[in-house]
Amino acid sequence: MNPQTFILENARAALKAIYNVDASDNMLQTQETRKEFEGDITLVTFPLLRVTRQAPDVTANRIGEYLKENCPEVESFNVIKGFLNIKLSKAFWQNVLGNIASDENFGQLPATGKTIMVEFSSPNTNKPLHLGHVRNNLLGSSVARLLAANGHRVIKVNLVNDRGIHICKSMLAWKEMGGGQTPQNSGIKGDHLVGNYYVAFSNALKAQTKEIAAAENITEEEAEKKAPILKAAQAMLLKWEQGDADVRSLWTMMNGWVYDGFGKTYKRLGIEFDRTYYESQTYLNGKALVQEGLDKGIFVRRPDNSVWCDMQADGLDSKLLLRGDGTSVYMTQDLGTAKQRFDEYSLDEHIYVVGNEQNYHFQVLKLILKKLGFNWSDNIYHLSYGMVELPEGKMKSREGTVVDADDLMDKMYTTAKETSLELGKLADMSQEEQEHLFEIIGLGALKYFIIKVDPKKTMLFDPRESIDFNGNTGPFIQYTHARIKSILRKASEMGIEAGLCSGNESVLIDKEIEIIKLLNSYPDAVRDGGNAHSPAVIANYAYELAKEFNQYYHDTQILREENVQVRSQRLALLNIIASVLVKAMSILGIELPERM
Q: What is the pLDDT of residues 62-119, one digit of tens each?
A: 999 999 999 999 999 999 999 999 999 999 999 999 999 999 999 999 999 999 999 9
CATH architecture of the domain formed by 120-283+339-399: 3-Layer(aba) Sandwich (3.40)
pLDDT in tens, 502-538: 877 789 999 999 999 999 999 999 999 999 999 999 9
- The torsion of the CA quartet 245, 247, 250, 252, rounded to 10 degrees, works out to -70
Q: How far apart are CA 324 and CA 16, in angstroms?
A: 74
What are the residues whose beta carbons fall under 8 Å from the beta carbon of 471, sequence distance 6 or more?
none
CATH superfamily of 406-587: Isoleucyl-tRNA Synthetase; Domain 1 (1.10.730.10)
pLDDT in tens, 361-420: 999 999 999 999 999 999 999 999 998 877 765 544 444 457 889 999 999 999 999 988
Identify the bridge partners of residue 74 per DSSP, sorted by sequence position: 88
CATH superfamily of 3-88: Arginyl tRNA synthetase N-terminal domain (3.30.1360.70)
E strand or H helix at 385: strand 380-385
Cα→Cα distances 399→179, 365, 373, Å:
22, 30, 42
pLDDT in tens, 182-221: 999 999 999 999 999 999 999 999 999 999 999 999 999 9
What are the residues whose beta carbons fall under 8 Å from the beta carbon of 572, sequence distance 6 or more?
101, 498, 499, 500
Residues 139-163: what's their mean pLDDT?
Answer: 97
Please indicate whether residue 334 or residue 283 has the higher confidence score (pLDDT): 334
Provide the b/e sequence for 207-244 (b: ≥16 CB within 10 Å).
ebbeebbeeeeeeeeebbeebebbeebbebbeebbeee
Domain ranges of the chain: 3-88, 120-283+339-399, 406-587
| 467 pLDDT tier (thresholds 50, 70, 90) | confident
Are the folds of 3-88 and 406-587 the same?
no
Name the pairing type of β-strands 41-44 and 29-32.
Answer: antiparallel
270: nearest Cα among 440, 461, 455, 469: 440
Prediction pTM value: 0.91
